[in-house]
Amino acid sequence: MFTGIVQELMAVKAIEHGPDLSRLALQMGALGHGLQLGASVAVNGTCLTVTQHDDDVAYFDIIKETLETTNLGRLDTSSKVNVERSFKVGDEVGGHVVSGHVSTTAELVGLHDQGNDRVLTFKVEPKWQNYIFHKGYVALDGASLTVSSVDRDNADFSVSLIPETIERTTLGTLGLGDSVNVEIDSQTQAIVDTVERVLAEVAQDFFHRALEGQGAG
């Protein structure tokens, strides 16, 4: 599990793309202290497993499904990524609890500065829009953010970045058309799915009762 607080904006040291598997190498520096084989590390919000660790370089294998559902398939040696190591029990949760299981990707369709802040607007598939609410949480490329606005008609939402986030994460270098990994807040998704299921059951029960009433008449 992760907190959504990016610990390091890290350059990709090497990446080898194969037909079904890619191998990513990151020079972890101080963040790699005590890192063990099998440890979980969030890279652009995607939970990856350390498969090799030489000196301060960590290696990760990325399977085809992950390459297809995240933006990791677009990485090259000119790329930078957001990195966070998994938190331990007792650590401060500065953002919100993030699993590292990416839900989908979203395209940047709007960008403008407001004073020192920057507002980014993303378009996402409508089915995921149902779980995004004004003032709710969302993780973008692994960064925990608060949703500043939602436009359901256009299936987009906006977040505001403070200067610290602009400087220390990949979000500060995004251009129009770029994609980010999106992880929906799991608690929000559970609540929405439960409410929709209960409402559907109530509606179905009402419909059956209405039919029974007509039959009795």
Report the 10 Å Cβ neighbour count for 207.
10
Would the pLDDT of 214 be above 90?
no
Query: Are 8-85 and 104-184 in the same CATH fold?
Result: yes
Q: What does the block give as tokens for 94?
A: 């500065």
Helices (H), 60-217: 64-69, 126-129, 163-168, 186-216
Q: What is the pLDDT of residue 95?
A: 60
Q: For residue 141, give every residue at least 6 positions away whose Cβ sits within 8 Å of its Cβ, in sequence order, or none.
A: 44, 45, 71, 81, 82, 169, 170, 171, 180, 181
3-state secondary structure of 38: coil
Residue in this structure with the two tokens 């929000």, named with its chain if needed: 188
* pLDDT band at residue 158 using 50, 70 and 90 as cut-offs: very high
CATH of 104-184, one of 3.30.930.10, 3.30.9.10, 3.40.640.10, 2.40.30.20: 2.40.30.20
- Write out the E strands in the chain: 8-17, 21-27, 40-43, 46-54, 57-63, 80-85, 104-114, 117-123, 137-140, 143-151, 156-161, 179-184
d(CA 85, CA 76): 21
What one-character DSSP code corresponds to residue 30? G
* pLDDT band at residue 197 using 50, 70 and 90 as cut-offs: confident
pTM for the whole structure: 0.86
Instruction: Please determine, looking at this structure, whether the domain spanning 8-85 carries the CATH number 3.30.70.2190.
Output: no
The whole-number average pLDDT for the span 137-145 is 96
The whole-number average pLDDT for the span 63-89 is 91
- Domain ranges, ordered by start, for the chain: 8-85, 104-184
The whole-number average pLDDT for the span 136-148 is 95
Q: What does the block give as tokens for 173?
A: 């270098």
d(CA 209, CA 141): 48
d(CA 36, CA 144): 25
